[in-house]
Amino acid sequence: MKRKVRFALLAGLAVSLCLGVSFFSQAYAQGKKVTPLEGVKFNTAESLIDNLKTYVGKDVIVHLRSGKTFQGYLKSIGNGVLHLEKLAGRDFYDALIRMEDISAFEAKFRDMK
């Protein structure tokens, strides 16, 4: 009999804990909104490289024709190459990428506030 009572108390405590966590997580999530970042846009009338130039100093993901992907901060764009610094997942590494090898790039457009 004591086992049943103890089990019932533990089950009730677990259920109330789950309900409390879900209630507070919903209240927290409702307080945040997805907001667009200012000055961020793609211009389909321009080339891929011209679009990339607007993201100097920002975090981007660059996809190469080979299928390899690099994520980092776009430091500069020069004569046929771009310099990505602070590569994701690789401490103390930068990359110099030929622009003719780039097939696509991604940039952050929205943020949670």
Average pLDDT along the chain? 83
Strand order in the sheet with 102-107: 95-98, 81-85, 69-77, 59-64, 102-107
* pLDDT the model gives residue 27: 47
Cα separation, 75 vs 56, in Å, equals: 6
d(CA 29, CA 3): 39
Degrees, nearest 5: CA angle 69-72-76: 110
Task: Tell me the per-residue pLDDT of 12-63, one tens digit each, with 9 for 90 and over.
Answer: 666 666 555 565 555 455 667 888 778 778 888 998 889 899 999 999 999 9
| Furthest C-alpha separation in the chain | 81
State yes or no: pLDDT of 85 exceeds 50: yes
| Its pTM surpasses 0.75 | no
